[in-house]
Amino acid sequence: MSIPVILASASPRRRELLTLVGIPHEVRPADIDETLFPGESPVGHSERLARGKAHAIAARAGDAVVIAADTIVVVDGDILGKPVDTADAVAMLRRLSGRTHRVHTGVAMCRAGRMVHDVVTSMVSFTPLADTTIEWYVGTGEPLDKAGGYAIQGAGGAFVQTVRGSVSSIVGLPLHTVVRLAADLGCRFAAVG
């Protein structure tokens, strides 16, 4: 694809995913208010944030394709964002231990004033975690900047018994959806389209 691509995210995981499938891109993180609106559903929240990030960057993107995403972990209807500290990470992992939770990733793409978007939902089942395991994992530092307090592509992947859905979406960017939405915008990525 000769059209420039802008990733509206500072996430190294999203950058790695695009690079993995051969999509050259520039990184321009979007800075938006991510406050949950009263009564907003987790799916709606994820979608709104992805659209907001894409819109914030698209205004000065020219003819580039802007890709934005937002990933959230949900258990018992509660959104588990990035832990604020180690105690928060421990509490999140205890809630996920031995249970199944949802991961929603909202994706929005813009080009030339047009936006397309979707939300991909995956189900992740964790093995039961001993307190010593949780303490070890939190001690690695890995959970501290990850939604839900774990990284499926890192050491946290050892806790995952099953996944129903998109693994790349759980990591932060559902690649199959990116390719489909790009086609909806009239674009095709040479490496994967």
Which residues are catalytic, by number? 70
As a whole number of angstroms, the distance between CA 103 and CA 170 comes to 6
The 3-state secondary structure of the chain, one letter per residue: CCCCEEECCCCHHHHHHHHHCCCCCEECCCCCCCCCCCCCCHHHHHHHHHHHHHHHHHCCCCCCEEEEEEEEEEECCEEECCCCCHHHHHHHHHHHCCCEEEEEEEEEEEECCEEEEEEEEEEEEECCCCHHHHHHHHHHCHHHHCHHHCCCCCHHHHHEEEEECCHHHHHCCCHHHHHHHHHHCCCCCCCCC
As a whole number of angstroms, the distance between CA 110 and CA 104 comes to 20
